[in-house]
Amino acid sequence: MGSQLNSSASVVRESDTVVPFASAAKSAVPKDTDQLDTAGRTILSLLHKAAGVAEANSQHALEMAQKLSHQLRASEDRIAELEAEVRIYQDRTERAEQWLHKIYTDVEERFIRRPEEKRRSVVGAFGGKATHTR
């Protein structure tokens, strides 16, 4: 019977050693669960963070699009103003050219053609010779 006690004692020892192993296995499940929970929370946190960054990027893009749209509109308005000024200056240029042509023809008529006609008539009246009288 003594051997049985030794056997029993060793069984008890084995049981003692097995029990902690079994309870370690049972505690491993919650540990794995904790790791899964942690991983799940981390993934959700990263997803929320990525969604926030995407939302911020989207908002920034929208603001930039609005800003650029306003700048484009202002540029188009300025172009329209400049085109109107160009038309005004083109009209003024045409009027100035018309005035220059009128002035040129008037000067040509008064100072070039008429004096030449007067000389001819004077030369014709004196028989082909021009005389100077003072």
Q: Using an 8 Å Cβ cutoff, are 76 and 83 in contact? A: no
Position 25 pLDDT exceeds 80: no
Write down the residue that tokens 């306003």 correspond to.
Answer: 70
Number of structural domains (the chain) is 1
59 lies in a domain? Answer: yes
120 lies in a domain? Answer: no
pLDDT tens for residues 86-134?
A: 999 999 999 999 999 999 999 999 888 887 777 777 776 666 555 555 4
Report how far apart, in Å, the C-alpha atoms of 10 and of each of 25, 29, 93, 112 are.
22, 29, 120, 145
Q: For 3-10, what is the mean pLDDT?
A: 46
Tell me the C-alpha distance between 130 and 122, whole Å: 7
What domain range is 45 assigned to? 1-89
95 lies in a domain? Answer: no
Kindly report the pTM of this predicted structure.
Answer: 0.47
43 lies in a domain? Answer: yes
**How confident is residue 22, by pLDDT bands cut at 50, 70 and 90?**
very low
107 lies in a domain? Answer: no
Question: For residue 128, what is the DSSP state?
Answer: S
pLDDT tens for residues 49-86?
A: 999 999 999 999 999 999 999 999 999 999 999 999 99
76 lies in a domain? Answer: yes
36 lies in a domain? Answer: yes
64 lies in a domain? Answer: yes
List helix spans (H) across the chain. Answer: 2-107, 114-125
